[in-house]
Chains A and B, each alone.
Chain A
Amino acid sequence: MNRAKRPLLSRVADSVYWMARYIERAENVARFIGVNLHLQLDLPLAPAHQWQPLIDTSGDTEVFKEKRGEATEESVIQFLAFDDENPNSIYSCLRFARENARSVRETISSEMWEQINSMYLQIQLQRATPQHDALPEVLRNIRLSCHMFQGITEATMQHDEAWHFLRLGRLMERADKTSRILDVKYFILLPSPENVGTPYDDLHWAAVLKSVSGFEVYRKQRGRISPIDIVEFLVTDREFPRAIRHCMEVAGESLRAITGTPAGQLKYPSEQLMDVLRGELENVRMSAVIRTGLHEYLDGLQTKMNAIGESLNQDFFVLRPEKKLEGVQSQAQVQRSEEARA
């Protein structure tokens, strides 16, 4: 029997969206650490200089300072990869992704759940038995596992409304991470992006590209390492999967599929905000960006993306307003009852 198209629960949409964001976040943190480990082999600089930017990329500078103090290789890797008190560590991201996945197991495919579950069991094991030499391999495996999750998602999940929310979450997170890594590298390395880079700067900028798997594509398209070209590539390229514009284009497609709004119209506030940002990314001129300042520009981008995220929340996820706070508590409230049996 063919059942009527099933409506999607707001809570389920919310969980699927965040599940995807957390997986993407875990992958990005693994990328950042991995590239830095690699870079270190080429650079004679003081360690602190090199590891602090990673913390800044994740946006947890204050928390880190309070908890760990100085940024050394070990403290940064522990904090970013395994710390359960850092909500953005790979471990925490996989835990949250799994928790979200667990609450929507009836919506995602069994294969997706099993992949997330085994990623979580894996990192739990690595966290319990840390081995420094194995770290590059561990990080590589996390990246591959995340890719496998994306592949499993494409191949086994119905491309329905929930899938579009999942894709939306993945792309919003990816765009955010690309903007952050650009911002931090800019801040640390190049107060004036028009400066011709020293060889070390070149290595750093190449590392930026590598951290988003963009080195090879960039070389093919633009050739020489040039900070302005790299920024332009990562912000405005339409076809590179981790470029901000690409992310927003595809996110926009998913949003339209979710709302069902006819072409040429914009019904929801989130659609309007997304549309404005897409227009800006299409028409942006790098010379103008440099004039206003790259940091200011990227800051503005992040503010706009955050506004879209908040708007998605309002348009689709918000539950009965008076119950909003209780949701968190209700998960901790357990009933001991017949359910305890089995």
Chain B
Amino acid sequence: MLFDSYQTQGFHDEMFDAQGVPRPEARLLVETIQSLEEGQLLRSQRAAERLLLQMGITFNVYGDSAGAERIFPFDLIPRIVRADEWEWIERGLKQRIHALNAFIYDIYHDKKILKDGIIPEEVIRSAAFYRPQCEGIHPPLGVWCHITGTDLVRHSDGQIYVLEDNLRVPSGVSYVLENRDLMKRTFPSVFEGLRVRPVAEYPDKLLEMLEAIAPPGCPDTPTVVLLTPGIYNSAYFEHSYLARQMGIPLVEGRDLSVQDRTVYMQTTKGLRRVDVVYRRIDDDFMDPEAFRPDSLLGVPGLLDAYRAGNVALANAPGNGVADDKVVYAYVPKIIRYYLGEDPILQNVPTYLCWKDTERKHVLENLDKLVVKAANEAGGYGMLVGPHSTAVQREQFAQKIEANPRNYIAQPTLALSTVPTLIEDHMEGRHVDLRPYILFGKDIHVMAGGLTRVALRKGSLVVNSSQGGGSKDTWVLSDSGKAVAS
């Protein structure tokens, strides 16, 4: 009943094929949903929302009145990923992270890739997240991107593309873990039948990684802390959630101090040494001595202690140089340069506005393209051409002309859809997928990730700040066929 009027509308739908037949891996779920009593799904949906509010699983909205917290809307219909497809995605992500890590190391040391002319030096020097303060630093194990939240999308051609790498301070993983809990309560039998791969080991893997990067010579169980900007940060729930799941102290900048290039936390029994900091504060705010001097959130001297090798930081400061959307355009070349391999996961074709010919093309096709600021995130600083007004396009044209280095453009992708409960029936809504990748001794890819969904009809913007919600992601452990239930 719920699916009776469901239309894939020419998009690639993750659950139904173009003829409206459930894909094999989704059949059991579709049957289960069809067999529910009328209204049951909606009741479960409401119950889930109440639970989220009661448990305080909320995010703060900037610019809203003080203390405004909202739940991140959650939709009960999961996205299903076949085992063989996931295996391929996982290989692609590992390849990409290896290459990006080698690239960041190179940028802060020999800069071979610049000397060899693969990337113009000017691109790096003008990258907003390039940090000269990090030149020559040797992070433990040589790892710069400990936690990555790569954004993947599927276009109407059925192909998966990497949209963004998100190397700096990716958030959202707590929703993956909480969503799974909610889903297990709602669809226990489907979980048994489908053999969905678990995500619950993530906090263990994260702690394992953080302990692995502890500086040499610290105790067997190093002191690991999670550094948060505080309760008014939009992702504060996640910070406290992860600290709780890992059993480590959640600290604010004012809890830490640096003496003799060593980091300490202020406890009721005096100062205690800290070995590893999982920092959820941006580079800029991390250390007023090294970066923005007006930061009140950071710890003076933290970068110096890190440079001295007395504390490990995850993620490594300076790794955002690879988050620049102009650098993104070079990732296929980066993979070939450092690994000598062809990229497994494709980039979205990207026009660089600082190149005269490409800028011309962009300006002539603003109504068809998506324009993005090279250094913005969260859906800010973005123009979705086909959904824009002439005035907005004119504003962007001026911005691009004024600062071409800061803009890139991409074709408007027809993101794939997943059925989503709208009132009492299903409608397709566009989704992306953000898996979380951990890099310590080796690389671990979470089975699944955060499926973000643009809840507004027709919208392609999935960010929570722009009316997005989330879904659970089910990676199957079999070869994609539903196990007989």
Q: Which chain B residues (219-278) contact chain A, with CB distance < 8 Å? A: 221, 229-236, 238, 240-241, 243-244, 247, 249-255, 257, 265-269, 272
**Which listed residue (B244, B252, B257, B281) contacts A11, Cβ 8 A?**
B252
B282 at the interface (CB under 8 A from A): yes
Determine the distance from Cα of A331 to Cα of B166 in the docked complex, in whole angstroms: 25
**Which listed residue (A1, A3, A10, A102) contacts B255, Cβ 8 A?**
A10
Q: Which residues of B contact A110 (CB under 8 A)?
A: 55, 244
Q: Which of A20-28, A138-146, A239-247, A321-329 is near enough to bind chain B? A: A321-329
- Quick one: CB contact mask for A313-341 with B, threshold 8 Å, 1 for yes? 00011011001001101111111111111
Quick check: A340 and B285 within 8 Å, CB to CB?
no
Quick check: A316 and B166 within 8 Å, CB to CB?
no
Quick check: A329 and B296 within 8 Å, CB to CB?
yes
Given the contacts A1-B221, A9-B265, A320 and B229 also touching, CB distance less than 8 Å: no
Q: Which chain B residues (262-307) contact chain A, with CB distance < 8 Å? A: 265-269, 272, 280-282, 284-285, 295-297
Determine the distance from Cα of A118 to Cα of B52 in the docked complex, in whole angstroms: 12
Determine the distance from Cα of A104 to Cα of B244 in the docked complex, in whole angstroms: 10
Secondary structure at the A interface, as helix, strand, loop or mixed, is helix
Q: Which residues of B contact A8 (CB under 8 A)?
A: 267-269
A-B contact pairs, 17 of them (CB 8 A): A4-B221, A7-B267, A10-B266, A11-B254, A113-B55, A330-B254, A334-B234, A335-B282, A337-B169, A338-B166, A338-B169, A339-B169, A340-B62, A341-B377, A342-B72, A342-B238, A342-B450
A161 at the interface (CB under 8 A from B): yes
Q: Which A residues form the contact surface with B (CB < 8 A)?
A: 1, 3-4, 6-13, 99, 102-106, 110, 113-114, 117-118, 121, 161, 165, 258, 316-317, 319-320, 323, 326-327, 329-342
Quick check: A330 and B249 within 8 Å, CB to CB?
no
Determine the distance from Cα of A334 to Cα of B64 in the docked complex, in whole angstroms: 12
Quick check: B233 and A341 within 8 Å, CB to CB?
no
Secondary structure at the B interface, as helix, strand, loop or mixed, is loop
Quick check: A341 and B171 within 8 Å, CB to CB?
yes
Q: Which residues of A contact B284 (CB under 8 A)?
A: 335, 337
Shortest Cβ distance from B256 into chain A, in angstroms?
Answer: 9
Shortest Cβ distance from B100 into chain A, in angstroms?
Answer: 16
Quick check: B465 and A330 within 8 Å, CB to CB?
no
Quick check: A9 and B233 within 8 Å, CB to CB?
no
Quick check: A13 and B236 within 8 Å, CB to CB?
no
By size class, the interface of chain B is 35 or more
**Which listed residue (A6, A99, A118, A342) contacts B231, Cβ 8 A?**
A99
Given the contacts A121-B53, A338-B171, A341-B377, A9 and B255 also touching, CB distance less than 8 Å: yes
B351 at the interface (CB under 8 A from A): no
Q: Which B residues form the contact surface with A (CB < 8 A)?
A: 53-56, 59, 62, 72, 166, 168-172, 175, 221, 229-236, 238, 240-241, 243-244, 247, 249-255, 257, 265-269, 272, 280-282, 284-285, 295-297, 377-380, 450, 452, 463-465
* CB closest chain-A residue, reference B280: A339
**Which listed residue (A161, A326, A338, A341) contacts B296, Cβ 8 A?**
A326
Quick check: B297 and A333 within 8 Å, CB to CB?
yes
Q: Which residues of A contact B380 (CB under 8 A)?
A: 336, 340
Quick check: B254 and A337 within 8 Å, CB to CB?
no
Quick check: A319 and B266 within 8 Å, CB to CB?
yes
* CB closest chain-B residue, reference A323: B254
Quick check: B233 and A335 within 8 Å, CB to CB?
yes
Q: Which residues of B contact A12 (CB under 8 A)?
A: 249
Quick check: B231 and A7 within 8 Å, CB to CB?
no
Quick check: A11 and B266 within 8 Å, CB to CB?
yes
Quick check: B172 and A342 within 8 Å, CB to CB?
yes
Q: Which residues of A contact B240 (CB under 8 A)?
A: 102, 105-106
Quick check: A106 and B172 within 8 Å, CB to CB?
no
Determine the distance from Cα of A149 to Cα of B257 in the docked complex, in whole angstroms: 35
Quick check: B297 and A338 within 8 Å, CB to CB?
no
Given the contacts A102-B231, A341-B171, A330 and B296 also touching, CB distance less than 8 Å: yes
A-B contacts besides A334-B233, A341-B172, 12 pairs, CB < 8 Å: A9-B249, A10-B266, A121-B53, A329-B296, A331-B230, A331-B231, A334-B232, A335-B297, A337-B168, A338-B170, A339-B169, A341-B379
Nearest 5 pairs between A and B by C-beta? Answer: A7-B267, A340-B378, A330-B296, A342-B172, A106-B244
Shortest Cβ distance from A185 into chain B, in angstroms?
Answer: 36
Quick check: B175 and A342 within 8 Å, CB to CB?
yes
Q: Which residues of A contact B234 (CB under 8 A)?
A: 334, 339-340, 342
Given the contacts A106-B244, A338-B169, A342-B59, A3 and B268 also touching, CB distance less than 8 Å: no
Shortest Cβ distance from B226 into chain A, in angstroms?
Answer: 8
Quick check: B232 and A331 within 8 Å, CB to CB?
yes
Shortest Cβ distance from B287 into chain A, in angstroms?
Answer: 14
Determine the distance from Cα of A27 to Cα of B152 in the docked complex, in whole angstroms: 51
Quick check: B231 and A9 within 8 Å, CB to CB?
no
Determine the distance from Cα of A102 to Cα of B247 in the docked complex, in whole angstroms: 16
Quick check: B378 and A338 within 8 Å, CB to CB?
yes
Quick check: A114 and B54 within 8 Å, CB to CB?
yes
> Which interface residue of A7, A8, A165, A316 has the most chain B CB atoms within 10 A?
A7
> Which interface residue of A103, A110, A329 has the most chain B CB atoms within 10 A?
A103
* CB closest chain-A residue, reference B265: A9
Determine the distance from Cα of A161 to Cα of B268 in the docked complex, in whole angstroms: 9
Determine the distance from Cα of A104 to Cα of B269 in the docked complex, in whole angstroms: 18
Given the contacts A330-B252, A339-B235, A341-B377, A118 and B62 also touching, CB distance less than 8 Å: no
Quick check: A319 and B175 within 8 Å, CB to CB?
no
Determine the distance from Cα of A113 to Cα of B265 in the docked complex, in whole angstroms: 25
Q: Which residues of A contact B166 (CB under 8 A)?
A: 338, 341
Q: Which residues of A contact B250 (CB under 8 A)?
A: 104-106
Determine the distance from Cα of A106 to Cα of B284 in the docked complex, in whole angstroms: 26
Quick check: A316 and B169 within 8 Å, CB to CB?
no
Determine the distance from Cα of A339 to Cα of B233 in the docked complex, in whole angstroms: 8
**Which listed residue (B56, B251, B296, B464) contacts A102, Cβ 8 A?**
B56
Given the contacts A7-B267, A335-B281, A340-B465, A117 and B54 also touching, CB distance less than 8 Å: yes
Determine the distance from Cα of A8 to Cα of B265 in the docked complex, in whole angstroms: 10
Quick check: B221 and A3 within 8 Å, CB to CB?
yes
Shortest Cβ distance from A183 into chain B, in angstroms?
Answer: 32
**Which listed residue (A1, A6, A258, A333) contacts B249, Cβ 8 A?**
A6
Quick check: B171 and A339 within 8 Å, CB to CB?
yes
Q: Which residues of B contact A332 (CB under 8 A)?
A: 232
Given the contacts A105-B240, A338-B166, A338-B377, A330 and B297 also touching, CB distance less than 8 Å: yes
Quick check: B236 and A102 within 8 Å, CB to CB?
yes
